[in-house]
Chains A and B, each alone.
Chain A
């Protein structure tokens, strides 16, 4: 469903992504790992359409279309969902108003009628149940005053309501205690199916104990330098990233 080829992107003249290639098929879970500053979050934001990043070379094909031609909202309407590393607080907009507007904008794009209040509420309640969330969350302003864990769970809740085809989870595990991590990963596992793809961007492999990836990629200095299976993640956990850096140097030499 997603085919990234030789993607280069920069911000303020600094090149961050230096030729990324990645294939994601429906039903697959990919983990992208790497140390701080390797370009993991940049990749997420470029895929979601954050305009401050400039794509200087390469292509991104999504469901047969050129993703880079789409505005951020159209990417979302086409089924891409970014779970933010730092979910944004929006005082004055309630979660429920936000979600209903988003869902109905997406439906409109696909020529569907908007969901009326009661129908929408029914859908939302199903999702809160799946994720074991408290309804009071709906009435609160988006992410305002939420704890770190609540913010991350709210991202997954939005994902549950909007039902994306491709979810990009940007450091969804960071800042979570073990209970919150378990709750968030349970939610993700429940939403996983054979038709959607998931890209998990993470620093640590601990999330991968709960959500088992089909593929693990190591991002270093703006490039995917190594790909493998879950075992690669365990190896990284044990040995850190230095051995990969060493490998890289040897290759260059």
Chain B
């Protein structure tokens, strides 16, 4: 496969040329070993299981390079990415690099956000404790990210701190190779909310390849919402992996609204007892775009619960994929796991592929899964029309209704409303979400 070689040559050459002389030795050696792994691995094909329905091969014909300089960002772009009047601690990453000049945070914030370089200098055993653990060495794109390891942030919240103000991590792509690495460490009995938010400046072609590792200590609660809304001409591959200690709760929402080709890989490792995991996703796909969601919930210890609901809304000639696996390991007795994937096709030419899987090695468990692909319900549509609601409006209401329960578990009303409005805009809806307080 000639393209495959070209792809590898392009990125290995770029990675080898990174001017990172001032970087710590640990980073340099991580990058080197990742380049080696990257060069050895083959580009995934449809024969490789979790890539069966993937359209990642578009990356073979579009090669990208890292940004040379940090671009300026307009105020209008920044303000368009706000969630109504919600106050957040905001950190802006331009092409993956934190721009401290754009940071807005409350002085009494208990969350610390530092660059990876700073983390190497100040966090003991940073590489071993966090970086290596959250990097899948068998994955081509994880290695690609590590081969360029430089950008991103280490975010930590101390034990027992309750951070009510959400942390808004805003990633703005100007159309380059963007490969940030995020590490989030939530201390014991802490509670915090993070929003990873990916947008583009304009509509450039670009490739975002992001990796997030979340470490939830005992009894920590983390609300984590990822919003992908990048350029229609762009590629986005995101890996999120959470490591959950005893009694911790992770509530993950992965909302994909824009992007030419988007692949979300979301993994939860329930490595302590009594862990709760909520994994919700919504993918709204239009045009000829493609979104794939690959999820894994790994129940390793007893008394864990996981609740997963991914919903796809596919219009035009778009394609959507859900490939979700739940593993219940031998020790994970009394596990409760419920997985569902529902897809709504708004056009005859849209396609949804769904592959829910359960692998159960324990005998005392309660597990369910299900998947559906369907269209808007004729009777519901007629009912709305029979009350005077026009067909486009009725369709928009039902589509919105289909999506909304995935968002209901996001605690901030402002974020839910922001997403609601965005969804309706994408659907070219005449219907506007306006809650009437009763």
Contacts and interface: CB of A to CB of B under 8 A. Distances in A.
A65 interface: no
Given A90-B380, A92-B400, A100 B389 contact: no
A73 interface: yes
Interface string B362-406: 000000000000000001101111111111011001101111110
A50 interface: yes
B437 interface: yes
The interface residues of chain A, by DSSP majority, are classed as helix
Enumerate the 3 nearest inter-chain pairs by beta-carbon distance, A residue then B residue, closest first.
A92-B401, A76-B388, A88-B383
B309 to A, nearest CB: 13
Given A90-B398, A91-B401, A101-B431, A73 B390 contact: yes
Given A92-B400, A92-B405, A97 B436 contact: yes
23 contacts: A75-B386, A76-B387, A81-B387, A90-B384, A90-B398, A92-B400, A92-B403, A92-B405, A93-B398, A93-B401, A96-B438, A101-B431, A102-B387, A102-B388, A103-B388, A105-B389, A105-B393, A106-B388, A117-B434, A117-B436, A120-B436, A121-B438, A162-B388
Contacts of A103: 388
A138 B438 contact: yes
Contacts of B389: 73, 76, 101-102, 105
A77 interface: yes
Interface of A: 48-51, 71-73, 75-77, 81-82, 84, 87-88, 90-93, 96-103, 105-106, 109, 117, 120-121, 135, 138-139, 141, 158, 162
Contacts of B403: 92
Contacts of A135: 438
A99 B397 CA distance: 12
Contact of A88 (B379, B405, B431): B379
A73 B436 contact: no
Contact of A121 (B383, B384, B436): B436
A71 B385 contact: yes
A49 B386 contact: yes
A50 B381 CA distance: 10
Interface in B393-438: 393-394, 397-398, 400-405, 431, 434-438
Contacts of A102: 384, 387-389
A72 B385 contact: yes
A101 B390 CA distance: 10
Nearest to B408: A92
A120 B437 CA distance: 11
A86 B379 CA distance: 10
Given A76-B388, A101-B397, 8 more contacts: A76-B386, A81-B386, A84-B386, A92-B400, A92-B402, A101-B389, A102-B387, A121-B437
Interface of B: 379-380, 382-391, 393-394, 397-398, 400-405, 431, 434-438
Given A91-B401, A117-B436, A98 B388 contact: no
B387 A158 contact: yes
Contact of B383 (A81, A90, A91, A100): A90
Residue of B380, B387, B390, B391 most packed against chain A (CB within 10 A): B387
B401 A117 contact: no
Contacts of B436: 96-97, 100, 117, 120-121
B375 to A, nearest CB: 15
A93 B397 contact: yes
B379 A98 contact: no
Nearest to B377: A88
Contacts of A96: 436, 438
Contact of B382 (A72, A92, A121, A141): A72
Contacts of A139: 438
Nearest to A75: B386
Nearest to A96: B436
Contacts of B394: 73
A250 B116 CA distance: 95
Contact of A90 (B385, B401, B405, B437): B401
A20 to B, nearest CB: 20
A103 B404 CA distance: 23
Contact of A73 (B379, B388, B401, B434): B388
Residue of B380, B401, B405 most packed against chain A (CB within 10 A): B401
A82 B405 CA distance: 29
B386 A48 contact: yes
A92 B379 contact: no
A101 B393 contact: yes
A26 B380 CA distance: 30
A152 B384 CA distance: 16
A141 B436 CA distance: 13
A135 B389 CA distance: 23
B245 to A, nearest CB: 35
A73 B391 contact: yes
A91 B386 CA distance: 17
A48 B382 CA distance: 9
B384 A92 contact: no
Contacts of B401: 90-93, 141
Residue of A48, A77, A84, A90 most packed against chain B (CB within 10 A): A90
B308 to A, nearest CB: 19
Contact of B388 (A84, A105, A121): A105
A76 B385 contact: yes
Given A97-B436, A100-B436, A105-B393, A88 B387 contact: no
A81 B387 CA distance: 7
Residue of A71, A73, A87 most packed against chain B (CB within 10 A): A73
Contacts of B405: 91-92
Contacts of A101: 389, 393, 397, 431
B438 A162 contact: no
A84 B379 CA distance: 11
Nearest to A45: B382
Contacts of A90: 380, 383-384, 398, 401
A24 B179 CA distance: 71
Residue of A49, A71, A72 most packed against chain B (CB within 10 A): A72
A91 B342 CA distance: 14
A159 to B, nearest CB: 10
Contacts of B437: 117, 121
